[in-house]
């Protein structure tokens, strides 16, 4: 398998049994109209429904589909990475299986990539489609916090991207275990162009991301893209120090004048205040420590249970 594949289409799926067959057909039929050599990679991110057998059917019915099945749910970010790492192509497009990233745009995105000589074409959401209130609330605040802390402006960005092989080789050199795909694409640099698009509604059901998964992702994004929170501990210690000096002077002053120091109130407030600051600082350090611990363990990022191509042609 050499570089004759012009476009690799990476599709992570998780519990999509109901719609994957139909949605894949839509994607396939749409992209068939582009005159370009395509290979599909569908990554089953540890689905617990029939998704994998659907994917196997797809592999049998279409010639150019590769299937990768994770041994459990490792999350969309790692599914995307497994897809990128599993194939050599000139360009890669990442898309959802639920048709929220409409395949009809890919032709224009490729066009834009060519005319602007870009390495990355980023799908930018013009409207956010239908999202639950909780999702929207988390998303909004998360992006605000992320921008504040890391400077990554990802508010309307999406995983819907076309990246070329230079970008993918750069991404492959990243060894971290917990990844945030969009953040890393931003981090590697290269020439980016934006492609505004309208998010379609999900074809079936609701988002596969639970609130817990989203919060986890938010933490990964922040912890792996900035160490600013660690400095908060220093800032708070400076503030505490200033307090200490003021109160110290006041105490000495009272002492010099022969006054008794007023009550326990000050002491109690000080203890409460400083101990909560210490706890908070320790908490922040704890987050980073646990990330370092995870990285140091050196476990593989994901585990592939099986990789399948047509006619059960097994490969690494």
Measured from the CB atom, the residue of 96 and 119 that comes closer to Mg ion is 96
14 binds, among ligand UDP, Mg ion, none (CB under 5 to 8 A by kind): ligand UDP
159 and 182 Cβ atoms separated by less than 8 Å: yes
Measured from the CB atom, the residue of 14 and 302 that comes closer to ligand UDP is 14
Q: Out of 209, 219, 280, 287, name the contact with ligand UDP by CB under 6 A.
A: 209
Measured from the CB atom, the residue of 280 and 306 that comes closer to ligand UDP is 306
172 and 148 Cβ atoms separated by less than 8 Å: no
Q: Out of 39, 56, 73, 86, name the contact with ligand UDP by CB under 6 A.
A: 73
Closest distance of CB 128 from Mg ion, Å: 11
Task: Calculate the dihedral angle through the C-alpha atoms of 249, 251, 254, 260, rounding to the nearest 10 degrees.
Answer: 180
Least Cα distance to 273 among 231, 243, 249, 251 occurs for 243
Other CB atoms within a 10 A radius of the CB of residue 185 amount to 24
Q: Does 98 bind Mg ion (CB under 5 A)?
A: yes
Least Cα distance to 150 among 105, 182, 110, 118 occurs for 182
Contact map string, positions 89 to 108, toward ligand UDP, x by CB under 6 A: -------xxx-x--------
Q: Does 45 bind Mg ion (CB under 5 A)?
A: no
Q: What is the rounded CA–CA span in Å between residue 50 and residue 108? A: 34
For residue 77, what are the CA distances in angstroms to 13, 43, 295?
11, 11, 16
Positions in the binding site for ligand UDP (CB under 6 A): 12-14, 16, 45, 73, 75-76, 79, 96-98, 100, 202, 207-209
Would you tell me which residues interact with Mg ion (CB under 5 A)? 96, 98, 100, 202
């Amino acid at each position: 398998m050499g570089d004759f594949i012009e476009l690799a289409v990476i599709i992570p799926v998780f519990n999509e049994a109901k719609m994957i067959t139909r949605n894949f057909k839509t994607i396939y039929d749409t992209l068939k109209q582009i005159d370009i050599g395509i290979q599909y990679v569908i990554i089953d991110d540890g689905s617990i429904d029939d998704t994998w057998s659907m994917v196997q059917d797809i592999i049998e019915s279409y010639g150019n589909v590769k299937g990768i099945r994770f041994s459990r749910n490792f999350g969309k970010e790692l599914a995307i990475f497994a897809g990128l790492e599993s194939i050599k192509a000139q360009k890669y497009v990442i898309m959802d299986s639920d048709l929220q990233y409409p395949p009809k745009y890919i032709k224009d995105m490729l066009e834009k990539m060519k005319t602007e000589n870009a390495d990355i074409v980023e799908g930018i959401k013009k409207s956010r489609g239908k999202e639950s209130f909780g999702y929207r609330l988390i998303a909004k605040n998360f992006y605000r916090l992320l921008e504040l802390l890391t400077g990554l402006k990802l508010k309307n960005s999406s995983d819907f991207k076309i990246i070329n092989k230079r970008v993918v080789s750069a991404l492959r050199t990243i060894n971290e275990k917990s990844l945030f795909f969009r953040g890393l694409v931003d981090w590697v640099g290269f020439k980016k162009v934006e492609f505004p698009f309208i998010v379609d509604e999900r074809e079936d059901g609701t988002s596969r991301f639970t609130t817990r998964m989203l919060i986890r992702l938010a933490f990964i994004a922040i912890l792996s893209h900035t160490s600013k929170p660690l400095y908060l501990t220093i800032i708070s210690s400076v503030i505490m120090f200033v307090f200490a000096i003021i109160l110290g002077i006041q105490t000495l002053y009272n002492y010099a004048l022969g006054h008794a120091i007023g009550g326990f109130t000050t002491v109690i407030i000080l203890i409460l205040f400083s101990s909560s600051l210490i706890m908070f600082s320790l908490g922040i350090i704890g987050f980073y420590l646990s990330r370092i611990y995870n990285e140091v363990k050196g476990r593989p990022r994901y585990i592939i249970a099986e990789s399948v191509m047509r006619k059960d042609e097994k490969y690494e």
